[in-house]
Structure 1
């Protein structure tokens, strides 16, 4: 079998973003996975049954460390002699595509997920754009994760090479048997809600992701505060209230939340923060609506997961989110950084039960039809085989 090397910057990306995919591809290729060291890399090796190599890559810019990582990748590629090197994530893409070019790997593929540069300005934006242009120079094939990412690559003139979105987008799709609302019985859901102090009548909005400004947490908390205050005392006396369930870690050093947001999160008993959770399904199972007001994404897995669990979503009009969600079909799309629009959308979901139920009913079907992981894996495998065939004809 030909050798295929998959590269990401950090092992969490291999472990989470490519879960199940490496094991599938290992039936057709001799797969080797490369990323930085850590427990996630060990988990990949054990679960996917593929060998791994730990090569540290800085997420930020560090010339000395980047050159060291480049050399390690180059020597690895020269030793392993792969037919294909396929990278995701920015730094892994730049370093592995350059290293594979000089190691004379014939097929060098990079998948762009979330793009950073559209949200930056000035010298930093120019630097990031030129890094991605350099990446594309060394790669033989470029794959945007979705149509929005493709449009941005074209808009900023990142490359003149053909841009191809595989299947309907996303790097790995969704395991619809794992993300399935039927996994939890009604009794289990009632017990879960009880464990969190939720009343059966409580309406629960859920957010899953990093608790940082870039994810729209400031706007979401502001909208929820306004919504919560509008409910009045009548509902409170009945033991019925709104809840905002936050599932994810704080990253205060990278993108801190506003002081008013932090104060509201700490003082409002209807905002429940549970930190990072390795299994997010129970939190979807006890919730009514996903709220995901992020500023930028590539193709957000959270929205796929929530949809597979039968939840309608409120999302911002950004890449990926506006491809998964169809306005008025399986969710609501609002402008970015607009807490008032978010407030109105959340209110609509509460008040218009028939509308909400229609969206929720459509959600799982759409995810199953368009984003099931096995179909995306088959599309990727077909692409690999086609590239090999084209190489043989050259």
Structure 2
């Protein structure tokens, strides 16, 4: 019996990591093809998961000429291949894929909402981004939200359609057992980066962009007394899409207590040396880096935004500050840098809070149950 064609679509191939291992499982019931902008990650993910792939260039930022070309390519691809299901993720791929799917009448058009880009935007730009989200929702036959907070936002601000959340949320859950078996020598790692046992280590893992609150984080850290404190930044810049201020870049470059480590394949190694994970983001659909920190038994300090509010329990596995409030962030960081013992007492709670709700095996089972209706 011929399997239904299932196209899983993202703007850039690195986003396919959201569905690691899930893709191979879906391929048992569907004929899966990955569609994303060209790159080695697209090819390697398809090979790893044992599925087909189709490169299709898309620009992440708004580019009318390129977006029209990409849309025409989607229309041609869908008309030629006639997929039964398109599973659209990330803003640009979702807008173009769902619009093309609507025009070519693809039977099942899934919009998987990992976050809402207009949160944090202002004025005309925000109104325009809201309009694009409404178009995506209009073109979709099924909508999945990555969290209950995103679901509520969708229902309140964008669509009257049914919005589903799989299990407790998150696209793929977390491999909690792998975190239990990790055994890093944090003293040796600290020593290799010139961090002493006495140093209190603040850390961040993710894209070093303004939208993630990195300007506020760097300013707040720079206000601290620079004795026995370190800030570890793990991730890459996006100078064209969402640049940091020049002042922030200058502080990162000149402050000897800020360690800029770039992109790392194994972020757990760096989470292991952190006393407090700090993520002052303006918007998040969910917050995988926060889950990773908690699974490494690291408490977190995050902003009170949609994507974090259902993961963090104040005083149990983390703490909140308001977005864009540098002084409040500084105050909290100063407080915790002087009370390491209180954070140490939270370590097991951090792991338990996440492991009981977001186990990959359980999320995968519920996801496959959901997609089974389209076989």
Counterpart residue number, 1:365: 352
Give the alignment of 1:139-178 within 5 angstroms: 139-156=140-157, 158-178=158-178
Counterpart residue number, 1:20: 21
Relative distance call for 1:63 and 1:223 in structure 2 (3 A) is closer
Relative distance call for 1:177 and 1:80 in structure 2 (3 A) is farther
Task: Check whether the contact 1:118–1:152 (CA below 8 A) recurs between aligned residues.
Answer: no
| Secondary structure at the counterpart of residue 110 of structure 2 | strand
Higher helix share: 1
Q: Is residue 2:183 matched to residue 1:184?
A: yes
Give the alignment of 1:304-323 within 5 angstroms: 304-323=291-310
Counterpart residue number, 1:4: 6
**Deviation for aligned residue 1:45:** 1.4
Over the residues paired in the alignment, what is the CA RMSD in angstroms?
1.9
Task: Check whether the contact 2:71–2:100 (CA below 8 A) recurs between aligned residues.
Answer: yes
Counterpart residue number, 1:31: 32
Counterpart residue number, 1:342: 329
Task: Check whether the contact 1:307–1:363 (CA below 8 A) recurs between aligned residues.
Answer: yes
Counterpart residue number, 1:234: none
**Deviation for aligned residue 1:359:** 2.4
**Deviation for aligned residue 1:94:** 1.3
Give the alignment of 1:18-97 within 5 angstroms: 18-97=19-98
Which shifted more, 72-81 or 48-57? 72-81
Residues 215-266 of structure 1: per-residue CA shift (max 9 Å, x gap)? 112221222222234x5xxxxxxxxx11111111223333333343233222
Runs (5+) with no aligned partner, structure 1: 232-240, 389-394
Counterpart residue number, 1:121: 122
Which shifted more, 322-331 or 167-176? 167-176
**Deviation for aligned residue 1:302:** 0.8
| Secondary structure at the counterpart of residue 176 of structure 2 | coil
State the alpha-carbon separation in 2 of the partners of residues 306 and 350 from structure 1.
Answer: 17
**Deviation for aligned residue 1:72:** 2.2
Counterpart residue number, 1:197: 194
**Deviation for aligned residue 1:304:** 1.1
| Secondary structure at the counterpart of residue 328 of structure 1 | coil
**Deviation for aligned residue 1:197:** 1.0
- Count of aligned pairs between the two proteins: 373
State the alpha-carbon separation in 2 of the partners of residues 221 and 64 from structure 1.
Answer: 37
Runs (5+) with no aligned partner, structure 2: none
| Secondary structure at the counterpart of residue 262 of structure 1 | helix
Relative distance call for 1:107 and 1:253 in structure 2 (3 A) is closer
| Secondary structure at the counterpart of residue 159 of structure 1 | coil
TM-score, normalised on structure 2? 0.93
Which shifted more, 77-86 or 140-149? 77-86
State the alpha-carbon separation in 1 of the partners of residues 335 and 181 from structure 2.
Answer: 27
**Deviation for aligned residue 1:37:** 0.3
Counterpart residue number, 2:135: 134
Which shifted more, 24-33 or 327-336? 24-33
State the alpha-carbon separation in 2 of the partners of residues 24 and 127 from structure 1.
Answer: 37
**Deviation for aligned residue 1:364:** 1.3
State the alpha-carbon separation in 2 of the partners of residues 7 and 40 from structure 1.
Answer: 14
Residues 64-100 of structure 1: per-residue CA shift (max 9 Å, x gap)? 3323322322332233333221111111111111222
Task: Check whether the contact 1:97–1:139 (CA below 8 A) recurs between aligned residues.
Answer: yes
Counterpart residue number, 2:366: 379
Task: Check whether the contact 2:275–2:340 (CA below 8 A) recurs between aligned residues.
Answer: no
Relative distance call for 1:327 and 1:377 in structure 2 (3 A) is same
Which shifted more, 277-286 or 64-73? 64-73
Counterpart residue number, 2:277: 290
| Secondary structure at the counterpart of residue 274 of structure 1 | strand
State the alpha-carbon separation in 2 of the partners of residues 353 and 61 from structure 1.
Answer: 45
